[in-house]
């Protein structure tokens, strides 16, 4: 088995019946790229840029950020890298940017909401990203988008930055793909509209589950409401994937669910394109994917959604099916 795993490092991510997917790494630091490559990542599906800000005693400069993004992009040697713009607030404070204390930080001032209110800070990050895109395929994704107005405001600032940089360097950043996290329930519901306006979606299940079940993701007292396999929630995921595909928008997932072994056959059955997870889960997932047939997975999804009512029932169904596979 160990030898098989070593061979899997350079193997494509493909189902038993030959359908291609991408299995990518979540990273929090450009140094993580070495490990992602070692584990055979098809790319970086989520580069959380918070570390740059949280690990610093000052607002990171454009130059500091450029260096970090370039390191990640070059380190991946031509494989795609998706960088998420700053997602602070909520549970992640910043020492040098005083934020108000809040009763409900997860429902408060965080992520894109902060970036849009601090355009200078946002522009510094976007300029660094646009400049880094000359060194390899780079995509930018916005966190916590809930409304079309927020998305358009973010894209407007991105376009301003790109035009400014193109005055000196024509064509710079023209290949950048823009995407958004799907982690606010309204964005999931409104996925058809959003799909017309972005190049890709990445479903952030950690937050999408927290907000869908109205259960704080860090509170043990409500941990039993973390139910990725709840059939109603699977319906939400299916809707997002179908909406994306109706508009030729690739759909990825970068929350914990993407690396969950019981979720994998269901996500493959629903047609999810890209799976981004901690690097240590990549080979196990690729191995498992190679043994699953997408048509059978799709039948499994129908069974789960039509015959099951609870998270536990779906769990049992998938366990039984995997055991008899
Ligand atoms: C998510 O919400 O699923 C996600 C990937 O983002 P984070 O865990 O950083 O909030
Ligand atoms: Mg999130």
pLDDT in tens, 10-52: 999 999 999 999 999 999 999 999 999 999 999 999 999 998 9
Ligand 1: residue of 53, 181, 217 to mutate (most ligand atoms within 8 A of CB) is 181
Q: Considering only CA atoms, which residue is closest to atom 3 of ligand 1? A: 204
160 Cα to the center of ligand 2, angstroms: 26
Q: Considering only CA atoms, which residue is closest to atom 4 of ligand 1? A: 204
Which atom of ligand 1 is the closest one to the Cα of 207? 2
Tokens of 271: 């047609």
255 lines ligand 1 (CB under 6 A): yes
pLDDT in tens, 270-285: 999 999 999 999 999 9
Between CA 22 and CA 31, with CA 28 as vertex, the angle to 5 degrees is 90
- Placement of tokens 């890298």 in the chain: 81
ipTM of the assembly? 0.99
Q: Considering only CA atoms, which residue is closest to atom 7 of ligand 1? A: 206
Give the burial string for 179-213 (b: 16+ CB within 10 Å, else e): bbbbbbbebbebbeebbeebbbbbbbbbbbbbbbb
* CA distance readout (Å), 296 to 195, 229, 257, 262: 28, 18, 20, 14
Tell me which residues of the chain have a pLDDT lower than 70: 1-3, 90-91
Find out whether 48 is annotated in a ligand binding site.
yes
């Amino acid at each position: 088995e160990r030898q098989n795993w070593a061979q899997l490092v350079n193997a494509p991510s493909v189902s038993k019946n030959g359908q291609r997917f991408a299995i990518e790494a979540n990273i929090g630091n450009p140094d993580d790229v070495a490990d992602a490559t070692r584990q055979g990542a098809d790319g970086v599906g989520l580069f959380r840029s918070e570390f740059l800000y949280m690990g610093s005693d000052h607002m990171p400069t454009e130059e500091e950020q450029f260096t970090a993004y370039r390191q990640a992009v070059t380190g991946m040697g031509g494989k795609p890298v998706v960088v998420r713009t700053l997602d602070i607030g909520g549970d992640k404070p910043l020492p040098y940017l005083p934020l108000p204390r809040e009763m409900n930080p997860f429902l408060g001032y965080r992520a894109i909401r902060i970036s849009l209110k601090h355009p200078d800070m946002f522009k510094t990050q976007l300029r660094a990203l646009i400049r880094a895109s000359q060194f390899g395929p780079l995509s930018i994704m916005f966190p916590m988008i809930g409304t079309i107005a927020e998305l358009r405001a973010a894209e407007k600032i991105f376009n301003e930055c790109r035009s400014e940089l193109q005055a000196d360097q024509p064509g710079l950043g023209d290949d950048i793909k823009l995407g958004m996290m799907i982690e606010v329930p309204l964005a999931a519901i409104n996925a058809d509209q959003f799909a017309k306006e972005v190049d890709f979606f990445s479903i952030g299940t950690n937050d999408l589950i927290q907000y869908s079940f109205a259960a704080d993701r860090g509170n043990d007292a409500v941990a039993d409401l973390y139910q990725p396999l709840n059939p109603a929630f699977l319906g939400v995921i299916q809707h997002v994937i179908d909406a994306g595909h109706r508009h030729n928008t690739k759909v990825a997932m970068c929350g914990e669910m993407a690396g969950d072994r019981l979720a994998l056959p269901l996500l493959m059955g629903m047609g999810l394109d890209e799976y981004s997870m901690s690097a240590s889960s990549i080979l196990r997932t690729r191995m498992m994917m190679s043994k699953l047939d997408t048509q059978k997975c799709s039948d499994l999804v129908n069974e789960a959604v039509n015959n099951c009512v609870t998270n536990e029932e779906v769990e049992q169904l998938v366990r039984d099916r995997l055991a008899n596979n």
